[in-house]
Each structure stands twice: as C-alpha cells, then as structure tokens.
Structure 1
Amino acid sequence: MFTSSVPPAYVELAGHYSWMFVLLSILIACLSSYTALSLNERVRKNGFFHQSVWLVLASLAMGFGIWSMHFIGMSAFSLPVAMHFSHLWTFVSVIPAILASFLAFTLASRSTQSFLSFALSGVAMGVGIASMHYTGMASMVMDAVYRYNIWLFLSSIAIAIVVSFIALYIFSNLKQLMEKRIVKIITALIMGLAISSMHYTGMAAVTFYASPDSILRDHASHTDMTMLIVPVAVGMFFLLGVLLFSSIMDRYIDYRISYFDGLTRLPNRRQFEKMLNKPAASRGLAIWHFHNLEKINNGYGYACGDQVIQRIADELREAHPGFKELYRIEGNRFAFLSEETEPDLFQKAMETIALKWKEPLLLEEKWIELSSVCAVSFSKGADPHHQLYANALAVLEHPLLKYEHDIILYDSTIHTFSFEQEILNGLARAMSEDELFLVYQPKIFADTSRLNGFEALIRWRHPVHGMLSPAVFIPILEQNHRIDDVTDWVIDRAARQISQWEKSGLPGQKIAVNIPGTYITSARLTASLEKAITHHRVDPKQLELEITETSVVQSAESAIRAISSFRKQGFSVALDDFGTGVSSLSFLRQMPITTLKIDKSFVDRVPHSEKDSAILHAIITLGQSLNLNIVIEGVETADQVRFLVTTARSLTVQGYYYARPMTADEIAKWRLDFSETLREDYLFS
C-alpha cells in the first residue's frame, strides 16, 4: 500500500472536508477522553464496584470514542466515487482501540511508576489509536484505490504515541489535581487532540485514485450514511450513559451502604449520630429495645430472626408520626428522633406504637411474642447533645427494668446513678478483656495523597449496652476522674500497635493519641509514656500527643513547660480542635507545639460559604506562618479537598472522604484492597 504505482489510466481524486463534521469528530474524541478519565479516576476510590470494573468501563468508553471519532471523521471527507463500509471490518476495528485503552490504563494505574511504564502506556494507546484508524480505513469498499505516503503514515503513529504519553503522564502524576475539573478537561483535550491529530494526519497520508468512468458527475460521495450515523448515535449515548451510570450509581450505592441499614433499609447508627450532633432548640428521643431477639434466633433460626426485625421495622415505619425520624441504631434497637415537639405528644405517639407489640406477630404460621421497652428522654438547647442519648441508655440499663412494652420517661433521680455506676464499675473489666479497643483513622497529605499517620480513637463494645459511643462514656469517666486510667491504656495500646506494624513490614507509622484536660501536666503521664516506648521499643517520634485548647487555658504556664519537656524527649505535640476555645491566639505563639488541628466546624460549609472559606484560609495561613504542621479534621467531600489543595501546600486532611476509623485488621485489608491501584501511593508507600 506504500508503492507509488497506480493502475493505468487512473487519475488522482480530490476530496474535501465538511468542517461541521470535523469539529464534531474532535468533540467526540475529547468527550470520550473525559469520560474515560472520569471512570478511570474511580479506580483510586473505595467504591462499591471493584476497581477492574472501572478499568473495563474506562477502556470501553475510550475505545468506543476512538471508533466513533474515526467514522465521524470519515463522514467529514467526501470523494466523487461510490463508497460503502464492510460491516464486519467496521465492527472488528473497534477491538484494537478497546484492548489498547485497557492496557494503557492498566499500566498507568499501577502503584509503582517509572518512565518505562509511561512509555509503554503511551505506545499501547498510540498503537491502539493507529490500529483502529487503519483497520477502519481497510473497511472501506469503493471504486477507487489508495496509496500511503510512508513518512506521513509513520508520523501519524508517532503523533498518537507521543501525545498519548503526555496525557497519561499528566493523568498518573497529577492524581489529586485530576479531581479538579479544569485539569481533567485539559488532559481530556490533549488526549482528544491525540486521537484527532492522528486521524487527520493519517488521512493526509493517503492519496485516492480512480478510473474516469467511476467518477461521479455530481461530485457527491455515495457513502453508506447509515454506517456513519449509527456509530455517532451509539457512541454518544454510550458515553453519556456510562458517565451518568458511574457518577450516580456508585455515589448512590456508597451513600446507601454508609448511611442505611442493609436489612431494614432504615437510616443507620452513623446517620443517627450525625443528626444527633446537629444543634436544635429541643429534642425528643425514643429508643425501642426488643429483648428476646436472640431467643428467637436460637429457637427459629436467623432467617426467622431477620424476618422479625424486618416486620418490626415495617410496623415502626408505618406507625411513626411525621414529625419523627426512624433509625435502626443496633441489632435490637430502633430510635425515633424528633426536633421541637411537645413531650406529651411524643410520649403518646410511643404509647400508640406499644399497642402493636402486645399482640403476637404471625410469621410463616409461627406466632412470635415480643418483649420490648421504650426509653424516652428530652433535651433543651443548652443540654449537651450526647446527654439525650446517655439518658435514654440509662433508662434501658436500669436494674429493675422490665420488658412489658412500657414507655419509660428518663428520671434523673432514678436512672442516672445506675448507668454511670455501671460504666465506672465495668471500666477495669473493659480494659483487661478488650471490650475497650482502638480504631485508627488515617491522616493524608492533601497535595500528594500520601499517608501521614493515624489518630487513635477509643471504642467500647459493652457486653450489655452494645457499642457505646465515646460521647457517652468519656464524659462519665472525666466527671469521675477515671479518664487518666483510660489514657494510659490508650498510650500502651497505640505503642504496641506501632511495634506490631514495624514487625509486619510497615515501618515508620505514626499514631496520635488524645491527652485529656490537665493530664498534660501530670508526672504520671510522663511515666506512662516512658513505660510504653521502653516496653514496646518505639521511637518517641512515632507518638504524637493531641491536647485541647481547654487544657492549655486552664494552666497555661504548666502546660507550656510540660509541652517543652515532651518535645525534648522527641514526642510531637498537636493542639486539637483549634478555634473552638476563647484564648488560643494569646498562647499560640508561646506554645512549643508542632501541629495545629483545625476543628471540623470550620470545614463543614467550605467551600460553599465564602465567609467560612475565608476564615479557614486565614487560620491555615496563621498556622503555616508559625511553621506548624496543619491538620484539617472532618473532611468529607471532594469539594473540600479541592479547596484545601488550592488554598495551601503541605496540608494534612482527616475524615470520611479518605477513610473512616478502622481496626488494625481492617487497615490491613484496606491496604490490600488498594495494593494494585493508585490509591496505594498515599496509603502505605
């Protein structure tokens, strides 16, 4: 096809382009590139679908886009001869583009990158684009022959490889910035131009010849337009459909998994706690506790137990008044949370529901009798948010409680002492029998997406109460001066975990532990730290002490001396919840801290609130001007991450956007799940 000889009496044909179709072909190439990049980006996210699903979808979007662009570009070129396409070769030509796209994206998504891997990715993508183009050219059936200019032919392939290499290099090395739409658009434009420039350079390389008898007098191309319209229509709908599917379904599924109970489809404990922590003038809380579900599971099987729970949920969902929200907060507990409602009305609504449980439930010819009780508590705006839930728990754990479908209103003279005493009495057992345990939330460098340690957070799996929120038991421990015992336990467990990670091949991990109140100035804390690092052979640099503004304000001079001492021993010290106190700025320049943790309340409305964004920017600037490491807590959205990346460099973020708090075993699985994706670049590299 590169020979210069042509059949005798054949003349060279002159074609012309329709610029409308040319622009449309370039648009399709850029749109397919943008879609493929968006889908491939999800490989690095912990979504519902496996990463390989997104690789396949990205490859299909890219390959189909290349294919569609080619045939739109072919329709833009008119020749004065009859022409149609071979159906078989037309559809076969899409295969090289899809396979090459898959290979290129797979290589570009590897956890370890090198110039060779980028070169191979560029070659794979470029050769795929070229193979698709020239296979598509071979599918033309017309009353003409064509010959290629060897240099333009090779140039078209080189263009595709070089520009593909550049686009994939940008995609792989600017992973965090790729979440910024403008960067993604620019990268998509580069990839789209790679496809388009290769196509039109390849078209410039070909010369068409035909006999005078086959040249049409009206100089109109008799191209099979059906074969051109179909790729355009199918390609456009496929690209838009895939993009819509990926952006809506994955987010929706992730939201449902995170915030809803799988069995009952009710909002779960996480959403309950989120709503509970929102400020309100007054609230009412009712917790329905079903006492004999384990007995039903043992007697009739877990399938029957699940049906009972679903039936209970259906009855509560059907009966609950419109002014309340219903949640499943534990296996055998459901909660109604209401804002600004009359206590009498709230309690009467629960009494109406109680009538349902006095009659047995009929399930698959079995009569199931339920044992239940409902704890009701109310709070006003001045009361702490956690107190509402703690009061309801105090009712449920009263030693004289009976499960006879009663509605019991919290009474401080009857219930508080019993619940608090049980918490205090069970503390020693909880620490020795691992009812208390630690979870670790990763902290991530915002601009490089790399791991910057963990924060240790305490949890209590109580044998009677189930999972207790720290917001419930920590205030009780603080009020009764038992929090120091728990802090020592946390320090020891955190040091032990660092040592275990060292032995398992994860050196240099850093864990932050919270130091409460005035304990920062206690000689006991110093002894506890020395004991932990000596016993577990841990470098002090791997433990960070997080103190609150309140602890500093209460005893400023003593706190500053204590912090200086810890710094000399090698520990780093972070000021936690910065901005929530009243005297931070007056002590900030005096305190020898290393890290400033900005409270979640400053991030919640960023970047949509200009005022909040300006305040957060000012705090970050202040902290960095004092050479402090900045950690932003409570980061939950991509918009917040993008704002922080563009606001300042070297910021560390912590929140559900990257990862929830996890046990050590879950962190190990978390690492393995992402070991073959770009996400591993910032997890354990």
Structure 2
Amino acid sequence: MFTSSAPPGYIELSGHHSMPFVFLSIFLACLASYTALSLNERVRKNSFFHQSIWLILASLAMGFGIWSMHFIGMSAFSLPVAMRYNHVWTFVSIVPAILASFMAFSLASRPKQSFLSFTLAGIAMGIGIASMHYTGMAAMVMDAVYRYDVWLFLVSIAIAIVVSFVALFVFSNLKRLMEKRVIKIVTALLMGMAVSSMHYTGMAAMTFYTSPEFIIEEHAGHTDMTMLIIPVAIGMFFLLTTLLFSSTMDRYIDYKISYFDGLTRLPNRRQFEKMLNKSSDSRSLAIWNFHNLEKINNGYGYSFGDRVIQHIACELRESDLDFTDLYRIEGNRFAFLVQGVDLDIFRQAMATIALKWKGPLLLEEKWIELSSVCAISFVKGADTHHQLYANALAVLEHPLIKYEHDIILYDSTVHTFSFQQEILNGLASAMKEDELFLVYQPKIFADTHRLNGFEALIRWRHPVHGMMSPEIFIPILEQNHRIDDVTDWLIDRAARQISQWEKSGVPDQKIAVNIPGEYITSARLIAALKKTIDHYQIDPKQLELEITETSVVQSVESAIRAIRLFREQGFSVALDDFGTGVSSLSFLRQMPITTLKIDKSFVDRVPLSQKDSAILHAIITLGQSLNLQIVIEGVETAEQVRFLVTTARSLTIQGYYYAKPMTPDELAEWRVHFSTVLEGDFLLS
C-alpha cells in the first residue's frame, strides 16, 4: 500500500483533474459549511424544534457536504482506465463524516470545554473525515492499483485534524460572531477550503498503476463520471439549500413571534420598547385605550372580542398615516409613535381617527359601541424617551378621564400628580405581593470567562401598567423620598437569594446592590445591612454596595466616612457610573472603595472612536494603578470585548454580550447552558 514500486508488468498512469468539477466540489464544501453554521445558530435559540433536531440537521448538512465534496473531487479525477463505484462502500463512507460532524456540534453545545477536550475531539473528528475519504477511495473499483506516499498520507490526516480543531474552536468560541453574515461567510469559505485541501492532499499522495491491456480512451471513463457528478451535485445543492431555508424560516418565525402580536400582526410591546429606546431629538406618542373590550368579551364571547380587536387594528392601520408607526402594546391599547412631526398635525390625525369610533359599529350582524380615549405626549431631547411613555400613562390613569373618544394632550399641571400618586400608593403592596422583583445580570472576567458575581436590578410588574421600566418609577420614588424603603427591600431580597443559592448547593455567590443618593450616609442603612446579614447568615463580602459618583460628590467627607464603615463591616464598595461626576480625580484616591465601574457611555463608541478608546484606556489604567477592580458595564459587541481584553488584564465585563438581566429561574437555565457553577469554570459563548 505504501510501497513506491510498481507491480510487475504494470505501468504508472498519469491522470488529471477537471477544474470545473474541482471548483464545484469546493463550492459545495463552502455551502455545506455555511448551512451548518446557520443551523448551529438555531441550537442556541428558542425554536419550534428541539435543540437536538437542529444539532442532527447541522451534522447531516456538514457530513453530507464533506462527503459530496470528496465524491465529486474523486470523480473529477480522470484516468485512462475503466472506473466505477462499489455502492455499499460508497454509502458507508458517508457515516464517518456525519458522526465526525455530530461530535463537533455536540462539543460546541456543551457547557464545559477545555483545550484537552478540543484536542481529543479534533483528533477524533479529523480521523473520521480521513476515514470517510479513504473509505471512499476504497469504494472505487478500477482496472488499476494505487500506492500511497506515506508522508503525504500523514499530512492529509494532519490537515483533517487541524481543520477539525479549528472548526470546533470557531463553533464554540466565536458563536456571537456567527450572527454577522459577513463573518459567517468568511468562516464558511475558510472551512470549505480547509476541508477541500485535505482531500486534494490525499489525492496527491496516490500513484496509480495498471497493465497496458486495460488502458482505454480517457474521455470514455470521464463521461461516465460526469453522469454521476451532475445528479449528486444537484441533489446536494437542493438538500443544503432546503436545510438552509429551514433555518432561515425558523429565524423568521422566531422574530415574528418575539416582535409581533399574533392576533393583529402588528408590532408588539417588545418592538415598541425597542423603538422607544432609540435616541431622537423630538418624538410624539399617542396611545389609544379602548375601555369596554372586556364587556364585549363577556357579552359576546372571546372569539367575537378577538374579531373586534382585529377590526380596530385594521381601521388604525388603514388611517393613511405614513409618518408614524403603529403598535399593539397591551390587550386594549394601541400606540402611534412618531418623530420629527409637528404636534398639531399629529393631534389632528388622531382626531380624524376618533371619528371612526363615534358611531355604532356593525360587525357580524351585531351592533356594538366602542368607548375609547387617546392620550398624546410630546418630548424633546434624546434622553427623555422614558418620560414620553410615562406622560401618556399619566393621562390614561387620571381619575377624571372619560372614554368618549377624546384626544387628550398631556398637561404636567393636571396629570403628573395622579400618576405619581398611584405609583406611591401601590408601593407597599408591590413589595408585599412581589410585584416588585429582582433580576440579576452576570459579571464576567474578560480574560478567563469566569463568573465574578451579579448585579441586582429592580423591576415592577404593575397590575395596571404592566412591566414598568425603573426609569419610570425610580425618579418618582426618589422625588417623594420613598427610595430608602425600596433599597432596604432590595438588600433583603438579594441576601435571601444568596442564602437560597447556598442551600441549593451554589456557594460563594456575590451580588451587587445599588445604594441611592444620600442614603449611603444614613445610619439606617448600616442597621439594615447588619440586620439582613444576621438574619440570612451570609458573609458580608457576598454583598457589594454600589454607590453613584454623583451622590458621593454631594457630600464627600460624609461619604468617605460611610464607606470606611462599610469596609470595616466586611462589605465591598463599588463606585458606579465613574466618569459622570464633576470632581472624580480629586477624591478618588481618598475613597476606600474596592471596585470602579466605568459607565456605559465610555464604551459605546469603542473601538471605532480613537478618542473614546484612548479615554477608556486611561480610566482603566488609572483604576488599576490604585489597585481597584475594574468593571466595564454596557458591553454589547464582540469588538468591544476584544478591545478590552487586549487593553488590560483582570477586567470584569457586564453587558448583553454575555447575558441580559435574568430572574433566578432564567439564571438557573443560563448556568446549565453556559457554565459549570460548582467548578467555577464559566466558558461563555
């Protein structure tokens, strides 16, 4: 097999490749890689199919793609002898490719990975790919014998192993980059070229010999191979494009379910909040509230009520308002969001719509009357988007509001007190009934991908207004001096969560809690902390107190004394939103803090902006020179992570790149998929 001498009476054959078929084989390998990458994305997403189904489909796409590349590549090589395939062995040669691909994707989906596991899997997958190639070669039946050059033979296997190792690394560690189409295409091209190089290196290792009596005209055998290549190529193309289409459709369905209302097909509240959070110089919001839909449901049934809602949505959609976007934000509420349009024009458009509801509505031979009101709010300034929605709610919740199809413009002298009073009156029951709850956002060491604790963030699931953003209710609580009560509640809930994790076998967890304004200098705070620590029997070092730079500036000496007291009690203290104050450098060296949190505003334009990158690097250097832990918040892109990792060591990253804020149940699922808690080995995608 590995001898270089020809059998007695045999002569060496000279063959050549058909370049169009060579390029076709490489194209299929690249297409298979792209399809497999796309299917692999669905393993990590919510989907109609179970994750294992996408794993199998990705494995089949990659396995069949590798096999078809080898089959066409072998068929593209022509010799002046008769040649055919053993169908059994040809089919069997597919199995190693599929199994090797399945192993790659299985490893990519595991929560815990190491260099050794990558190496072993790379070897196994490389041997699997090589086995497929050489099994396929053995399936060729011809009037010739072949010998292998041992060194090129070993090089081809080495290429397969190295390619497999690189593929596993790409799948496991660069998943977030795969969401960018250009990166995914480049990766697929590299993988396709790499797999092809293994095949053609293996072909170069072969030397063919035959008896002179078996030599035929070269084009005769090649014509037969062409008849095989074309249907195989067409079949594989349709198979891969069908699988690719399935992943595209699943992605589209996932998007429609997440961002559109199923009944009206309008963008839903999630899409509304996404658009609301985008910066804009001036915007107007109109919310239509239909008051008697529940009465219609009770009188005619929910099926008829759904048709009423669909009719309302249709009427709103057909109002010919090209300058605005329409959303269904709640069961009985629809919203128009517009920017850069004169308020009088917007108000007149809503008045025109109001005419549709003033008369009885005939629907399915039933006359019904709708009672509605439209609240309009208007704001200027990029940072006032939360106030836009809060003002509209204040109109809708005013106690004297009537549902007579009126168009009511927000008036701060009339509506603010009503909404604020409702928030304040509901605070006590919200804490008691768990309408207020905490979500936890992980903080991750950038260079080791290990967990470095969580930040506790407060949320309010209001019985009337639904899920309210903290940007809406926190300012109200601060203005009315109720934020201290909520802070005590937050500390208690965070400590209780640490205790629950301890009891469930997840020890040594650390949670950061935000301490507002002047409360950091209050004797009540240290008493609340001591009481909570004693009650739940947790270590003070497991609670980190985050104080804002602006609150410290208000009373520097008192804040420094309070921080020293916290440190003496065993708590760590973080300075939050660093860089947003006015005298940071003058007192930073005096404060006995342990952690410096750099504000998101310094990260947003990194690394595209050289100035922002230089400023961020300087702040990090300053903090580390003072022996402070550095936490970068608001990190959302892979480019930002790469910049931070190359800028300094021992940084902690917090942001949507790694994880969103999650409830304890969501966090438990996150741990299963992205970390091994007990061993402390967090390797995140």
Q: CA deviation at 1:502?
A: 1.6
Q: Answer yes or no: is the 8 Å Cα contact 2:25–2:70 preserved in 1.
A: no
**Which has the larger displacement, 609-618 or 176-185?**
176-185
How far apart in 2 are the matches of 1:208 and 1:676? 56
Specify the alignment match of 1:14 in structure 2: 13
Which amino acid in 2 is paired with 1:544?
Answer: E
Q: Answer yes or no: is the 8 Å Cα contact 2:287–2:375 preserved in 1.
A: yes
Q: Answer yes or no: is the 8 Å Cα contact 1:375–1:408 preserved in 2.
A: yes
Q: CA deviation at 1:102?
A: 0.9
Q: Answer yes or no: is the 8 Å Cα contact 1:444–1:654 preserved in 2.
A: yes
Which amino acid in 1 is paired with 2:284?
Answer: G
How far apart in 2 are the matches of 1:51 and 1:125? 21
Q: Secondary structure at the match of 2:414?
A: coil
Whether 1:507 and 2:507 are equivalent positions in the alignment is yes
C-alpha distance 311-186 of structure 1, shift in aligned 2 (>3 A) = closer
**Which has the larger displacement, 43-52 or 125-134?**
43-52
Q: Secondary structure at the match of 1:200?
A: helix
Specify the alignment match of 1:531 in structure 2: 531
**Which has the larger displacement, 635-644 or 556-565?**
635-644
Q: Secondary structure at the match of 2:475?
A: helix
Specify the alignment match of 1:59 in structure 2: 59
Q: CA deviation at 1:572?
A: 2.1
Matches within 5 A, 1:439-588: 439-588=439-588
How far apart in 1 are the matches of 2:295 and 2:82? 81
How far apart in 1 are the matches of 2:391 and 2:184? 51
Whether 1:68 and 2:68 are equivalent positions in the alignment is yes
Q: CA deviation at 1:300?
A: 4.2
Q: CA deviation at 1:529?
A: 1.2
How far apart in 1 are the matches of 2:252 and 2:608? 22
Q: CA deviation at 1:360?
A: 4.3
Q: Secondary structure at the match of 1:413?
A: helix
**Which has the larger displacement, 20-29 or 461-470?**
20-29
Please give the per-residue CA displacement for 1:419-440, whole angstroms capped at 9, x wherever unaligned. Answer: 2222222222221222222222
Q: Answer yes or no: is the 8 Å Cα contact 2:25–2:72 preserved in 1.
A: no
**Which has the larger displacement, 25-34 or 372-381?**
25-34
C-alpha distance 152-304 of structure 1, shift in aligned 2 (>3 A) = farther
C-alpha distance 35-579 of structure 1, shift in aligned 2 (>3 A) = same
How far apart in 2 are the matches of 1:147 and 1:183? 39
Specify the alignment match of 1:200 in structure 2: 201
Q: Secondary structure at the match of 1:415?
A: helix
Specify the alignment match of 1:409 in structure 2: 409
C-alpha distance 361-553 of structure 1, shift in aligned 2 (>3 A) = same
C-alpha distance 639-13 of structure 1, shift in aligned 2 (>3 A) = same
Q: Answer yes or no: is the 8 Å Cα contact 1:287–1:374 preserved in 2.
A: yes
Specify the alignment match of 1:355 in structure 2: 355
Q: Answer yes or no: is the 8 Å Cα contact 2:444–2:652 preserved in 1.
A: yes
**Which has the larger displacement, 228-237 or 435-444?**
228-237
Q: Secondary structure at the match of 1:224?
A: helix
Q: Answer yes or no: is the 8 Å Cα contact 1:163–1:194 preserved in 2.
A: no
Q: Secondary structure at the match of 1:456?
A: strand
C-alpha distance 274-684 of structure 1, shift in aligned 2 (>3 A) = closer
Q: CA deviation at 1:516?
A: 0.9
Please give the per-residue CA displacement for 1:509-540, whole angstroms capped at 9, x wherever unaligned. Answer: 22221111111111111111111111111222
Q: CA deviation at 1:643?
A: 4.0
Whether 1:630 and 2:625 are equivalent positions in the alignment is no
**Which has the larger displacement, 54-63 or 455-464?**
54-63
C-alpha distance 302-637 of structure 1, shift in aligned 2 (>3 A) = farther
How far apart in 2 are the matches of 1:383 and 1:186? 39
Q: CA deviation at 1:477?
A: 1.0
Length, aligned pairs only:
679
Matches within 5 A, 1:201-280: 201=202, 204-205=205-206, 207-210=208-211, 212-216=212-216, 222=222, 223-232=224-233, 255-280=255-280
Q: Answer yes or no: is the 8 Å Cα contact 2:607–2:613 preserved in 1.
A: yes
Q: Answer yes or no: is the 8 Å Cα contact 1:286–1:377 preserved in 2.
A: yes
How far apart in 2 are the matches of 1:499 and 1:123? 44
Q: CA deviation at 1:326?
A: 2.1
Which amino acid in 2 is paired with 1:163?
Answer: V
C-alpha distance 590-460 of structure 1, shift in aligned 2 (>3 A) = same
C-alpha distance 5-409 of structure 1, shift in aligned 2 (>3 A) = closer
C-alpha distance 604-309 of structure 1, shift in aligned 2 (>3 A) = farther
How far apart in 1 are the matches of 2:676 and 2:50? 12
Specify the alignment match of 1:35 in structure 2: 34
Q: Answer yes or no: is the 8 Å Cα contact 1:78–1:220 preserved in 2.
A: no
How far apart in 2 are the matches of 1:38 and 1:176? 9
Q: CA deviation at 1:158?
A: 5.2
Please give the per-residue CA displacement for 1:521-561, whole angstroms capped at 9, x wherever unaligned. Answer: 11111111111111111222221212112101111122122
Which amino acid in 1 is paired with 2:11?
Answer: E
Q: TM-score, normalised by structure 1?
A: 0.85
Q: CA deviation at 1:493?
A: 0.8
**Which has the larger displacement, 533-542 or 625-634?**
625-634
Which amino acid in 1 is paired with 2:330?
Answer: E
How far apart in 1 are the matches of 2:278 and 2:384? 11
Q: TM-score, normalised by structure 2?
A: 0.85
How far apart in 2 are the matches of 1:653 and 1:332? 40
Q: Answer yes or no: is the 8 Å Cα contact 2:598–2:631 preserved in 1.
A: yes
Q: Answer yes or no: is the 8 Å Cα contact 1:397–1:465 preserved in 2.
A: no
C-alpha distance 376-41 of structure 1, shift in aligned 2 (>3 A) = same
Q: Answer yes or no: is the 8 Å Cα contact 1:159–1:198 preserved in 2.
A: no
Specify the alignment match of 2:94 in structure 1: 94
How far apart in 1 are the matches of 2:553 and 2:510? 27
C-alpha distance 363-31 of structure 1, shift in aligned 2 (>3 A) = same
How far apart in 1 are the matches of 2:175 and 2:50? 20
Whether 1:167 and 2:170 are equivalent positions in the alignment is no
Q: Secondary structure at the match of 1:267?
A: coil
Structure 2 unaligned runs (5+)?
none
Whether 1:655 and 2:655 are equivalent positions in the alignment is yes
Whether 1:594 and 2:594 are equivalent positions in the alignment is yes
How far apart in 1 are the matches of 2:448 and 2:129? 31
Which amino acid in 1 is paired with 2:226?
Answer: M
C-alpha distance 365-4 of structure 1, shift in aligned 2 (>3 A) = farther
How far apart in 1 are the matches of 2:255 and 2:633? 20
How far apart in 1 are the matches of 2:57 and 2:644? 30
How far apart in 1 are the matches of 2:610 and 2:18? 44
**Which has the larger displacement, 235-244 or 413-422?**
235-244
Specify the alignment match of 1:309 in structure 2: 309
C-alpha distance 26-226 of structure 1, shift in aligned 2 (>3 A) = closer
**Which has the larger displacement, 654-663 or 165-174?**
165-174
How far apart in 1 are the matches of 2:448 and 2:175? 7
Specify the alignment match of 1:321 in structure 2: 321
Which amino acid in 1 is paired with 2:205?
Answer: A
Q: Secondary structure at the match of 2:636?
A: coil
Q: CA deviation at 1:231?
A: 4.3
Q: Answer yes or no: is the 8 Å Cα contact 1:446–1:645 preserved in 2.
A: yes
Q: Answer yes or no: is the 8 Å Cα contact 2:18–2:77 preserved in 1.
A: no
Q: Secondary structure at the match of 1:356?
A: coil
Q: Secondary structure at the match of 2:311?
A: helix
Which amino acid in 2 is paired with 1:159?
Answer: A
C-alpha distance 169-533 of structure 1, shift in aligned 2 (>3 A) = same
Q: Answer yes or no: is the 8 Å Cα contact 1:264–1:309 preserved in 2.
A: yes
Matches within 5 A, 1:320-399: 321-381=321-381, 384-399=384-399
Specify the alignment match of 2:431 in structure 1: 431
Q: Answer yes or no: is the 8 Å Cα contact 1:104–1:124 preserved in 2.
A: no
Please give the per-residue CA displacement for 1:14-54, whole angstroms capped at 9, x wherever unaligned. Answer: 22344957974895587368537734763774454653344
C-alpha distance 404-235 of structure 1, shift in aligned 2 (>3 A) = same
C-alpha distance 122-192 of structure 1, shift in aligned 2 (>3 A) = farther
Identity %: 68
Structure 1 unaligned runs (5+)?
none
Specify the alignment match of 2:400 in structure 1: 400
C-alpha distance 145-606 of structure 1, shift in aligned 2 (>3 A) = same
**Which has the larger displacement, 475-484 or 369-378?**
369-378
Q: Answer yes or no: is the 8 Å Cα contact 1:543–1:571 preserved in 2.
A: yes
